[in-house]
Structure 1
Amino acid sequence: MTKKLRIAVKHLQIGMSVLELDRPWIETPFLLQGFTIGSRGDIKALQDHCEFVLIDPASVVFKGRKNKPQKSYKPGYFNDLYNKPAKIASTPVEKEITAASTINVKASKLVKSCMDEIILGNAIDEEVLKENITNTVESIVRNPDAMMWLTRLKDKDNHATQHSVNCSILSATFGQFIGLPKQELEKLVLSALMHDIGKLQIPTEILNKPSNLTELEMKQVRLHPKSSQNLLMSAGKYFLPAIDVAYTHHERMDGSGYPRGLKATQISPFSRMTAIVDTYEAMTTEQVYRPELSPFESLKYLNANKGTLFDGPLVKSFVKLIGVFPIGSIVELTTGQIGIIITSNREDNLRPKILIMLDQNKLATERSILNLAKNSVDGLGRPIKIIRTLRKGDYGIDQHQLVTEGVEFTVLN
């Protein structure tokens, strides 16, 4: 059993491993239990929300004693990016959502036709695809929350296309969050769009099988990275940046992945990012063999496997990006009102922007936007807070339907 040391927050230092807080984790900006203090910002956040915490005594550096140095992680290409602050959105989500929706719809149609043409060996209109990718990146740079809202759309009839488009949005937002330049973001979007194209060569009855796959069927599924590589290699020079990701996104840091069993430094940075995004998007989407999992459950899985299956620093950044209350989450407030998160607040993720759907009596009301970051208070002057998250369908609210029908667009414009 891990020993725990109680310490006042004023004595915290970078490098200390926090095991428990003096209050529930949900009341703080820290999404997952247990983390290592990595910056003065972490210390300030703890001091703002707690009086004391419980830490791992082994993480304390005492004067006159040198702790065994921890192995430093060198992520190569991202070495100078992990500590870059995310850029502040230049356009409010209310103004960006319509443009983002138009780009997203066009992307879905383009990806489907592009994949079909590649499978048939036909030429691709690269300029049209390139233009859409550029538009996607520019929208995310203006305000990533608008595109992130659209990833709540889950189209069962076009699962492969929707998964690819959602992965491209998540990847670009992820890349923008850690500071990748625009040119690299465009390569990352292309890679995410095409990463699963080889699955189109797998029999539909296998992909849609509700029960466990046989050993032979699983072997067929695990051939799709190589199939994706072969298809993209024959599709033209424009798709060259996507080839490695398509072939490598199922590799894992500890060598347990497929098809080649690559380890750590053998896996490219974009493949590491796509592995995280691909897993998260798949887990939060309903599959024929299981219901969709919540963002929290999915992030918890990634966090539990950071450093083994997934790149540790990248998982930490991705968890911070998605936040305590992911965009599209249905929440209940201390006022009794029910709403949907439409904009995250990465400075204080306990105070996002919310689209109010139901009043305190859980009845439909005129939709309005409540920004908790502006120190919103109730009728008695008490700060309004989120008290819990709800599941899709609670109180008749379905985020997927809202995105499909465009209800939120008329409200936000």
Structure 2
Amino acid sequence: MIKKIKTSDLKVGMYIHDLNSSWMEHSFISNQFKIKADKDIKKMHSHGIKSVYIDTQKGLDFKHAPTAADTLMDVHKKAINVAGIEKPISKQTRVGEEIQQARSIYKAATKAMNNIMTDARLGKQVQVELVQPIAEQMIESAFRNKDALISLSRIKSKDEYTFMHSVSVAGLMVSFGRAMDMDKKVIHEIAVGGLLHDIGKMSIPLEILNKPGKHTPSEWEIMKSHVVHSREILKQTPGISQQALDVGALHHERYDGSGYPDGLKHDQISEIGQMSAIVDVYDALTSIRVYKDAWEPTITLKKMLEWSPHHFNPELIQRYIRSLGIYPIGTLVELESGLVGVVIEQGEGSLLQPMLRIFYNAKKTSYVKIREMDLTRETSDRILNAVSPSKYGIDLSIFY
């Protein structure tokens, strides 16, 4: 049986089924292993891991602990409640009308970031004026229809992850900032910060930065230093605001003080810094890498909600879920009727009833004529669960 227990309750002889933490937060080679010594437990504590899932069939049991199924159900109910209390932000255009414009912005932004980061690796000064127009275009797109930018954040090449991640973080920060009712000038600055937040990675040796697997403990320490490099580079960059600097300097700090580089916690981390931590983790987890598969958006949001008392500000993570919807754009969902579709836009009346593009009938195991379905109007059907595109062997990019 799989159970969730506090790290403080771990004993030698227990079997770790899941570290219940993002791969970004620790240097363990595997997520599953048997605890052989107290040093294993101490290492988990040092990485800020507050709870884990154990397999009682492979190791010692802990009686007074909820099962994984119970925990999952509790988190699911909480996520549904969070998403259900807020209506979607109104849009000036349909996502289909905005997607081409957003795609052009992403393409130009990725090219610009490639050039900027290449120059940074050569020791050249960052020219912030190169990203200012991109930040402004992102804001204009998000205010017309935020779903377009969000949908494109999922489409990345494994080979260009570093550049595309920066672009995605910027786009997601813009959408988050809009949902937080931030001033447009502030949203502009956090977009700039998102584009440049990982500039310090250009100071990391390529063999470590591009390693196709988990880093060793020593390599992990070198990787973590990219935040300090980002902070120093941005401080020396003319035209960088404090808001933009906060995104680069604070995106790996955690609400409970378990982050890096400074171990800041709670109000020691600015609101923008706390927002950037949420966005950075979300985009990293939902991206495919050479050494890991992408998590589905709905699963990612639920896990982040579960981690929120420790790693993230609980109020902000709930605001973030409301900004995306519990079924973000690009999520593949199965309906009670057996129909399968991709979320292409948030519904007009409820975040729990998005607009879908239907293409398959699971009960009949056959493809159907592609059509759009608005769940706010199709009241006889509802979402059963979110699933991986691999289950149906489809490439989500064909829908954008």
Normalised-by-shorter TM-score class: 0.7 to 0.9
Shift in alpha-carbon separation, 1:312–1:350, aligned structure 2, 3 A: closer
Contact 2:190 2:272 (C-alpha < 8 Å) held by counterparts: yes
Contact 1:338 1:362 (C-alpha < 8 Å) held by counterparts: no
Shift in alpha-carbon separation, 1:200–1:124, aligned structure 2, 3 A: closer
Corresponding letter in the other structure for 1:162? M
Does the alignment pair 1:370 with 2:367? no
Contact 1:100 1:146 (C-alpha < 8 Å) held by counterparts: yes
Query: Residues 364-412 of structure 1: CA distance to partner in whole angstroms, max 9, x if unpaired?
Result: 4443222122x226xxxxx13223322122322121x42xxxxx35xxx
Deviation at 1:337?
Answer: 2.9
Q: Paired residue for 1:396, among 382, 387, 393?
A: 393
Give secondary structure in 1 for the equivalent of 2:389: coil
Shift in alpha-carbon separation, 1:139–1:395, aligned structure 2, 3 A: same
Does the alignment pair 1:313 with 2:310? no
Report matched runs for 1:170-209 at 5 Å.
Answer: 170-209=172-211
Give secondary structure in 2 for the equivalent of 1:33: helix
Residue 77 of structure 2 corresponds to: 33
Structure 2 Cα separation of the partners of residues 318 and 311 of structure 1: 11
Residue 91 of structure 1 corresponds to: 93
Structure 2 Cα separation of the partners of residues 338 and 86 of structure 1: 23
Deviation at 1:179?
Answer: 1.0
Give secondary structure in 2 for the equivalent of 1:111: helix
Structure 1 Cα separation of the partners of residues 220 and 155 of structure 2: 28
Shift in alpha-carbon separation, 1:233–1:120, aligned structure 2, 3 A: farther
Q: Which moved more, 1:191-200 or 1:354-363?
A: 354-363
Structure 1 Cα separation of the partners of residues 240 and 234 of structure 2: 9
Report matched runs for 1:92-111 at 5 Å.
Answer: 92-111=94-113
The higher-RCO structure (CA 8 Å, 6+ apart) is: 2
Corresponding letter in the other structure for 1:279? V
Structure 1 Cα separation of the partners of residues 181 and 90 of structure 2: 12
Structure 1 Cα separation of the partners of residues 181 and 116 of structure 2: 29
Report matched runs for 1:14-413 at 5 Å.
Answer: 32-34=76-78, 87-122=89-124, 126-238=128-240, 241-345=243-347, 347-358=349-360, 361-373=364-376, 375-376=377-378, 383-399=380-396, 401-402=397-398, 408=399
Structure 1: which 5+ residue stretches go unaligned?
1-23, 46-82, 378-382, 403-407
Query: Residues 47-98 of structure 1: CA distance to partner in whole angstroms, max 9, x if unpaired?
Result: xxxxxxxxxxxxxxxxxxxxxxxxxxxxxxxxxxxx9x86411111121111
Structure with higher Rg: it is 1
Shift in alpha-carbon separation, 1:333–1:309, aligned structure 2, 3 A: closer
Contact 1:208 1:288 (C-alpha < 8 Å) held by counterparts: no
Structure 2 Cα separation of the partners of residues 200 and 397 of structure 1: 34
Q: Percent identity?
A: 31
Structure 2 Cα separation of the partners of residues 333 and 133 of structure 1: 37
Shift in alpha-carbon separation, 1:25–1:178, aligned structure 2, 3 A: farther
Corresponding letter in the other structure for 1:189? A
Structure 2 Cα separation of the partners of residues 25 and 218 of structure 1: 31
Give secondary structure in 2 for the equivalent of 1:32: helix
Q: How many residues align?
A: 330
Deviation at 1:359?
Answer: 5.2
Structure 2 Cα separation of the partners of residues 126 and 324 of structure 1: 34
Contact 1:140 1:146 (C-alpha < 8 Å) held by counterparts: yes
Deviation at 1:263?
Answer: 1.9
Deviation at 1:315?
Answer: 0.8
Residue 49 of structure 2 corresponds to: none
Structure 2 Cα separation of the partners of residues 25 and 261 of structure 1: 28
The alignment's C-alpha RMSD in Å is 3.0
Contact 2:322 2:351 (C-alpha < 8 Å) held by counterparts: no
Structure 1 Cα separation of the partners of residues 258 and 162 of structure 2: 25
Residue 7 of structure 1 corresponds to: none
Shift in alpha-carbon separation, 1:123–1:256, aligned structure 2, 3 A: closer
